[in-house]
Structure 1
């Protein structure tokens, strides 16, 4: 049985112009210790999906349909008290900017002890021992000294390590990391991602990594979900998606990587932009930007087609697979 099972999830936002759907028919599984990447441009719905798992969607947003099963409980219907017992305890979240996550007027130690005492009946000394141990796990030098320091006294990379240590405090089953290396330089990004993978493997913690960087996904995850305009358009083993992307959008993301461009020439890019939620095109949402779009793409929403070990929502892939099956039957 999967550790986390999301079934037909939909998230809606009530606006003056009417209700719009930020997520549509999202379904996937996550096993214990498995690392999953959520990929797509800004506005694809990646962060909304991460927030919805922990029921952090603020009004006027709401989970309008679907189920989020974790350890026999549907998190979508859980009471405020019930979700608080899971949030930060069994499922932790790492946000983009550690300075927005950490309280600037409390020491690192105060914040870590407060987190532990919110979920466990534990003394200050016992909580401090656990906190210092977690700081050591993320390779913070002089952890006893850092325990008494304020966030502004630490570098960006150090603050992000502390946020990871806080996420690990209560030995969670799942960590959701929302663009955890965005504010860091390239060398520190690599160190933080290596650290997260090492910690997840060592503690058998599942990871949901939200990012727009396929390069990071290729190195850190085992499965990948590609999102576009609030829908999943391709999902499967990371290696298969990276080496043989099937959906035209995923292919465009791969071609946009800097290493795919010819030196001295402009970087490749996908023409156009992600449509706003109020004006998502009929049929396949990607069809106005797709070089292979045909009439069916403009009329009908594509269903998932299996390609190897991947699932792809594309009319062109479905037609190609059907032709291959016809040839094999001849």
Structure 2
């Protein structure tokens, strides 16, 4: 039984009289302890998906249809009080900027103790000891000192560690990490990712990593889903997807990695840009940026097909399989 099951999820934004789709027919599952990633450029819908899973979509956005089940229990439409029991306790989220989560006018200790006491009946001293223990567990030096400091007194990497410590207080089943290392330098990025990986493995926590960087994803996720313009366009085991990308968009993301260019050369890039919600192309949304697009791509949405151990939504792959079957006399 899947821990989390998302089926045909559609999220839209109502702007004036227009209803603009942001997520279209998103379906995936997550097993206990599994680590998956969603990748794509800014505007692909990755963060909206993360917010949807913890019911943090606010007006003018709304979940139009679909299902999100946690342990077979539907969580879309839960009353705020019941959703509060899911958010943080069962599904926790790490945001790009830890200052979105930390209260700047409260000390680190006050915030951690408050989180503990809101879910337990233990004393302040006991809560403080647990908080300091969790700070130490995420490799924060001098946790007793950090306990009494304010968020602005800590570095970005240290603040992100505090967020991870806060999440561990409630031992969630799932952590959603939305670009958790974007604002950090490369060395600190590696430390935070390694810390997340160790915590998930040690505690059997499932991880959903949201990122635009396939290089980062390759170090953490077992399975990767590629998103473009609100849709999933490719899904497969991470290493296989990176070594043999099927969708032209996935190929473009990989070619854009800095290590794919020689020193002194211009970085590769995908021509054009992600379409806005109000300017979504017909057919396959990637067709106006795709070097292989045909007339069919401009008018029809490709279905998912199996390609090796991955699944992909692309007419190019579909046509290749049809040609192969025709050459083998299967028609």
Report TM bin, short chain: over 0.9
Secondary structure of the residue aligned to 1:281 is coil
Secondary structure of the residue aligned to 2:241 is helix
Aligned equivalent of 1:280: 280
Name stretches of at least 5 consecutive residues in structure 1 with no aligned partner.
Answer: none
Secondary structure of the residue aligned to 1:83 is helix
1:252-281 deviations in Å (ceiling 9; x for gaps):
000000000122111000000111111111
Aligned equivalent of 1:16: 16
Aligned equivalent of 2:208: 208
Provide the aligned C-alpha RMSD in A: 1.1
* Pairwise CA distance, 1:121: 2.6
* Pairwise CA distance, 1:328: 4.4
CA distance in 2, matches of 1:95, 1:68: 21
CA distance in 2, matches of 1:64, 1:200: 32
| TM-score, scaled relative to structure 1 | 0.98
CA distance in 1, matches of 2:318, 2:169: 46
> Is 1:122 equivalent to 2:122 in the alignment?
yes
> Is 1:3 equivalent to 2:3 in the alignment?
yes
CA distance in 2, matches of 1:245, 1:328: 25
1:20-65 deviations in Å (ceiling 9; x for gaps):
1100000000001111111000000000000000000011111100
Aligned equivalent of 1:307: 307
Name stretches of at least 5 consecutive residues in structure 2 with no aligned partner.
Answer: none
Size of the alignment, in residue pairs? 330
CA contact (8 A) 1:85 1:119 kept: no
CA distance in 2, matches of 1:76, 1:102: 26
* Pairwise CA distance, 1:318: 0.9
Aligned equivalent of 2:84: 84
Aligned equivalent of 2:160: 160
CA distance in 2, matches of 1:316, 1:289: 14
CA distance in 2, matches of 1:324, 1:205: 42
Secondary structure of the residue aligned to 2:226 is strand
